[in-house]
Chains A and B, each alone.
Chain A
Amino acid sequence: MQTVFSVGIDALAYGMVLFVISIGLSVTMGLMRVVNLAHGAFAMIGGYIASYAAQTLGFGYALAVLVAVVGTILIAIPVERFLYRRIYGAPELTQVLMTIGITFCVIGIANYVFGPTLKTIPLPETLRGPVDLGFRTIAAHKLFAIACGVVVAAALWYLIEKTSFGVKLRASVDNAAMAASLGVRTKIVYAVSFAVAVGLAAFGGIVGAELLPIEPYYALRYMVTFLVVVSVGGAGSIPGALLACLLLGAIDTTGRYLLPEYGEFFFYLAVIAIVCVFPRGLLGRSK
């Protein structure tokens, strides 16, 4: 019984880390209809900046996170203006080629600037080391990741479903011309949503860095995982992505405990089954 709880907690923590990292991609793919394969690259940039700020400049953890998120958004703004703006509404193949190209550029630059070694983001004392839950110990940063996941999910859901910005965003996505003629400045709406998505990527990269360590090939290594989460959850759906992460986290963690030699067999089996039954993902919007 203790083992069941224990594996359950691991599954929850892993699922939440996946959620924080992938949710930004769900926003770009579902709401902005851009297949952004460079999502992992932005997460990696966030991780690198945080690592640099905390280790070399000696900033505290909270400040490093803030600097990294803002820094990544600042880097992303010109990228959005000059590259992404050309591919909004373009065929998916064009988007894939453009964003994978950006990914390779970022990998090359990261390798050149920071070198091929692993980078860590030193955690503050309170998040370091194990916490005793009574029946087991768990890393404090995992509890932190779970909390971050909950906060991000709630805040995003509120932003998209309940605020006037959310209304404008959904309107621009569904019919850009009509939204514009009603006075919505769609370009700004797009730019802001892109910034939010990139900021979330950076934040996820930092919070998840303990599980998915920052190194130049980060951007490619975990790309499939991010895409799977979005396609299973249904692009653009916050509750869907949350559900997908928890489900996939549970399947992956349990499989890894019981039958590690089968590798990711169960993970992908579940993905295939879900996508067969729900072609738009668990809670995807119909187009």
Chain B
Amino acid sequence: MRKSILTALAVLALSGTAFADVIKVGVVGPFSGPFAIQGKNFKAGIDAWMALNGNKVGDDEIEIVYRDVPQADPAQAKALAQELVVKEGVQYLAGFYFTPDAMAVTPLLEQANVPLVVMNAATSAIVTKSPLVVRTSFTTWQTSAPMAKVAKERGVKKVITVVSDYGPGVDSENAFKTTFTAEGGEVVDSIRMPLSTNDFSPIMQRVKDSGADAVFAFLPSGPTTLGFVKAYNDNGLAQAGIKFLAPGDLTQEADLPALGQAAEGLLTTFHYAVSHDSAENKKFVEAAHKAIGNPAELSFPAVGAYDGMHVIYKMIEATGGEQDAQKAVDAVKGMAWESPRGPVSIDPESRHITQNIYLREVAKAEDGTYYNKEIATFEKQGDPGLAAAK
């Protein structure tokens, strides 16, 4: 393997990039299977970027090569990344919806001389695994911790946390617990439920019995959030005055038409809402809607992909199309720009994105559809999870 990678590198080096060239970017994500909608969003974000900024940097033409990993599958992700580097000769790796997939690829980067731009995978530790990783999405810590401050501000004293029992769920629980306890609140109980849970009534009974003023929840975007939010309403928790707090994964735009009325008034904290009011976002949403086909399917992974492409273009510009991963990554450290989600920058230390986190409320628009309405901003949030991981 090592030999073949080296050969590939030698070939690349010999071929030279002084002339106009095709620079390939390998994007790995879930483009089929149960998570296909997230992969579709990656593609929409990338297409939107290229529609607005052209497919050329200097004289070099950019070509995207997609590879499909339908579900979290580290072995397959690694194999595909290797194939992209060796056979396709990509200079950049990008995408990655699931943390384990991104983690599996980090050991390859240095030898392959390829930077990795993570467009979604949201566990804090990924950026520590290789100095060639840059992330343009968010971390679960980053989006969950501000909710603890919101809870405190709104006079909530006792909270019960309910999360899906897997990596991001546990991250979310820890983020909220740590921040809320530091703010002087009390977490009365923490429930971890299996990912396959479909009837949430007994969980809601636990919440009620715990005597908490609010429930902090984390579930992955998709089918289960519907049952959870409905169970919250149907079991009378809303009437009992128990507040519902969660990071924005629970009310992602693609799920809102289904959640509908049940979600109205829910409070979530997140880095991006499709409804974000700025000229930059209007431009992005218009291009992304065109790219994705059905506007109702546009959701947060698209903005991670869009900004990821921005970062990659900057890298290509800085290296003049030469393959030099370290130089490329160094070039974007401290890079700051106006993203569709608001002002963002790449933290030079962690190579993770520093961004605003917004408090949003699910509201009804005039045309009867539901959207995430931003009502407060936490400016320039870094990733608190990195400190906790050390």
Listed in ascending order, the chain A residues whose CB lies under 8 Å from chain B are: 3, 6-7, 10, 13-14, 111, 115-120, 129-130, 132, 136-139, 142, 210-213, 215-217, 221-222, 252-254, 256-257, 260-261, 263-264
Contact in complex: B201, A13 (CB < 8 Å)? yes
B201 nearest CB across to chain A (Å): 4
Contact in complex: B236, A130 (CB < 8 Å)? yes
From B40, B205, B254, give the contact of A10 (CB < 8 A): B205
Which residue of chain A is the closest to B294 with respect to CB atoms? A115
User: Which of B199, B223, B257 is packed against the most chain A CB atoms within 10 Å?
Assistant: B199
B129 nearest CB across to chain A (Å): 28
- CA–CA, A254 and B206, complex, Å: 11
Which residues in B have their C-beta under 8 angstroms from that of A137?
234-236, 239
From A3, A261, A263, give the contact of B196 (CB < 8 A): A263
Contact in complex: B209, A256 (CB < 8 Å)? no
Give the bracket for the number of chain B residues in contact with chain A: 35 or more
Contact in complex: A130, B194 (CB < 8 Å)? no
Q: B68 on the interface (CB 8 Å rule)?
A: no
* Binary flags per residue of B179-200, CB closer than 8 Å to A gives 1, else 0: 0000000000001111011110
Which residues in B have their C-beta under 8 angstroms from that of A260?
191-194, 197, 202-203, 206
Contact in complex: A139, B297 (CB < 8 Å)? no
Which residue of chain B is the closest to A111 with respect to CB atoms? B36
Which residues in A have their C-beta under 8 angstroms from that of B254?
117
From A130, A215, A257, give the contact of B202 (CB < 8 A): A257
Q: B34 on the interface (CB 8 Å rule)?
A: yes
From B37, B196, B206, B239, give the contact of A257 (CB < 8 A): B206
From B165, B230, B258, B260, give the contact of A139 (CB < 8 A): B230
Listed in ascending order, the chain B residues whose CB lies under 8 Å from chain A are: 33-34, 36-37, 40, 165, 191-194, 196-199, 201-203, 205-206, 209, 222-223, 226-227, 230-231, 233-236, 239, 254-255, 257-258, 260, 294, 296-297
A92 nearest CB across to chain B (Å): 26
- Whether A116 touches B199, Cβ cut-off 8 Å, given contacts A260-B191, A260-B193, is no
Contact in complex: A130, B193 (CB < 8 Å)? no
Contact in complex: B236, A256 (CB < 8 Å)? no
B197 nearest CB across to chain A (Å): 7
Contact in complex: B209, A211 (CB < 8 Å)? no
From B37, B197, B239, give the contact of A130 (CB < 8 A): B239
User: Which of A111, A116, A138 is packed against the most chain B CB atoms within 10 Å?
Assistant: A116
- For this complex, 20 residue pairs linking A to B, each with C-beta atoms less than 8 Å apart, are A7-B202, A10-B205, A117-B257, A120-B258, A130-B236, A136-B235, A136-B236, A137-B239, A211-B198, A212-B198, A213-B258, A217-B33, A222-B198, A256-B199, A256-B203, A257-B202, A257-B206, A260-B191, A260-B194, A260-B202
- Whether A263 touches B227, Cβ cut-off 8 Å, given contacts A6-B205, A211-B199, is no
- Whether A130 touches B235, Cβ cut-off 8 Å, given contacts A7-B205, A10-B202, is yes
Contact in complex: B199, A14 (CB < 8 Å)? yes
From A14, A118, A263, A264, give the contact of B201 (CB < 8 A): A14
The 8 closest A-B pairs by CB, nearest first: A139-B234, A263-B194, A137-B236, A257-B202, A118-B258, A10-B201, A116-B37, A256-B202
Which residues in B have their C-beta under 8 angstroms from that of A252?
199
- Whether A3 touches B165, Cβ cut-off 8 Å, given contacts A115-B297, A116-B40, is no
Which residues in A have their C-beta under 8 angstroms from that of B233?
129-130
Which residues in B have their C-beta under 8 angstroms from that of A7?
202, 205
From A142, A212, A221, give the contact of B234 (CB < 8 A): A142
Contact in complex: B234, A129 (CB < 8 Å)? yes
Contact in complex: A257, B194 (CB < 8 Å)? no
Which residues in A have their C-beta under 8 angstroms from that of B165?
261, 263
Which residues in A have their C-beta under 8 angstroms from that of B236?
130, 132, 136-137
Which residue of chain B is the closest to A119 with respect to CB atoms? B258
- CA–CA, A252 and B255, complex, Å: 27
From B193, B226, B239, give the contact of A256 (CB < 8 A): B193
- CA–CA, A263 and B198, complex, Å: 11
A24 nearest CB across to chain B (Å): 19
- Whether A120 touches B202, Cβ cut-off 8 Å, given contacts A129-B233, A260-B192, A260-B193, is no
